[in-house]
Amino acid sequence: MRKVVVPYRYMIDEFLTPSFHFSISEYEVSRFHDLHGHEFFEMEIILSGKGTQILNGESSRLTPGSVYLLTPVDFHTITPDPGFPLRLINLKFTEEWLDEELRLLLFRQPNRLSVRCEGEHLADIEKECRRLLAESMTSQIGKKQAIRATLDRLLVDLLRMIPNDPQSTIETSSSDVSERSKLRKALNYIDFHFREPITLKQAAAHTSWSPNYFSEKFSTIIGQSFQQYVQDHRLQYAHRLLHNSSLPVTEIALASGFNSLPYFIRCFKSKYGVSPRAGRRVL
């Protein structure tokens, strides 16, 4: 797969007001969109046109009915086919708009919300988006509640279209399920915040355990320490950026959550057997 020789950038919350962290719009994409990430969640519904998206290094076709949800740790490019501009509906919202239990359902690994809708399903989704668009422009009482309810319903409908993960049906002991369920919120928190200087104490706060007990149970259930789990996420993210961008190694280290370039290089070499620069040449 070819590298995207463009600078990496993050789209920050410039579209958000301090009190209303939600935005929806409909527009056309007629040119290549540079590799970028978001500091918020973004969902797009393709209404017409054809193109290609490279999401976290993996290529997929975009056609009418393509729907996908991007998280704060995803990055992508969009390339419309010549003569087939992409008409889409775009939703942007911060984490606070996601119901906690719904968020845990949406982001069960390895699932990601990416589906293709047709016929009545696509019409229903577009109808829900039109409702969101109308509500976002009104000043009526209950605006925020109406948007949240409609967004929840839209996400649940899309979630139900994702094929079940066969691994989720594998039998496990009730004790394993119970222990893992207590970690779900913490793991979900880490998955979206690993680029930040998160601490074990912050992660433990998403469970009912003390930091010391959380550290012990985390290592037992996950098979590695909290620090190693976070570091692996950062290194995997950096590895994808090396493969899919021409961003300098220093910027990749910072974007991935490392605040020291020498430390990043040591960790990368320990995991992958080569330095980041050497790894980029052989990818």
**Contact call for residues 78 and 29 (beta carbons, < 8 A):** yes
pLDDT of residue 112: 67
**pLDDT average, residue stretch 43-66:** 94
Annotate the chain with three-state secondary structure. Answer: CCCCCCCCEEECCCCCECCECEEEEEEEECCCEEEEEECCEEEEEEEECCEEEEECCEEEEECCCEEEEECCCCEEEEEEECCECEEEEEEEECHHHCCHHHHHHHCCCCCCCEEECCHHHHHHHHHHHHHHHHHHCCCCCCHHHHHHHHHHHHHHHHHCCCCCCHHHHCCCCHHHHHHHHHHHHHHHHHHHHCCCCCCHHHHHCCCCCCHHHHHHHHHHHHCCCHHHHHHHHHHHHHHHHHHHCCCCHHHHHHHCCCCCHHHHHHHHHHHHCCCHHHHHHHC
Q: What is the pLDDT of residues 149-169, one digit of tens each?
A: 999 999 998 888 887 655 444
Q: What is the pLDDT of residues 87-96, one digit of tens each?
A: 999 999 998 8
The answer to whether residue 136 scores a pLDDT higher than 80 is yes
**pLDDT average, residue stretch 236-258:** 92
Distance CA(9)–CA(48), nearest Å, equals 27
The answer to whether residue 283 scores a pLDDT higher than 80 is no
**pLDDT average, residue stretch 100-127:** 83
Share of the chain above pLDDT 90, in %: 64
